[in-house]
Amino acid sequence: MTFSEINPFSPFVADLTLWDFHEPASNYNPVMYTSNPSSITSNSGSDEPNRKTPKPSAPLPAIVADRKRRRMVSNRESARRSRVRKQKHLEDLSNQLDELRIENRKLTDWFRQAVCYKELIHRENEKLRSESAVLRQHLWDLRQVLLVQRQLEQQSMINPLSAWPCMDNLTYINEEQLINAQLFNCVNVVNL
């Protein structure tokens, strides 16, 4: 049986038999280097059943202690950096809280001023509405007086004595006195 019969994908090594072909990785055994050069064995590529494999030497207590000490120092430094970061974060949060409290106080003051201003404007609007209602009423009264005056003028042109219904009682009131009296009453109401 040839190699090409087993592996149809390799056209370059078609003449080799299985015992002629050795895969390079099949005989590779990693060698651990130690401080003793005589413990290194050479690998001849043959399969020896009693091959000696080097054993890693146990770490010395001084090396272990040094590693432990370095790890402790590293952990302490890491913990210190973590505490510093947390402290800085806490200070930043505290500063941010102070700024937010100041801003909140400003907004609360602004809101109170806005509410007071709104109440002031509301009172002013109510005052203006009531004044507007009073002025409308006075305007209506003045129009009524003018209408009465025009009617009296028209009737006095037609029949001077029939313009006043109170002439039946022989009471005569001058038109100007009547208009002046009504205007005087309207002006007094406006001044109130």
pLDDT per residue over 48-93, tens digit each?
A: 555 555 555 666 888 999 999 999 999 999 999 999 999 999 999 9
| CA angle 41–45–50, rounded 5-degree value | 60
* Per-residue model confidence (pLDDT) at position 87: 96
Nearest one of 21, 48, 43 to 30, comparing CA atoms = 43
Q: Which of 1-10, 35-44, 140-149 has the largest mean confidence? A: 140-149
Contact present, 42 and 27 (Cβ < 8 Å): no
Angstrom distance (rounded) from CA 37 to CA 21: 32
The average confidence (pLDDT) of the chain is: 74
Regarding pTM above 0.85, the answer is no
Give the model's pLDDT for residue 37: 47
Residue 156 has what pLDDT?
79
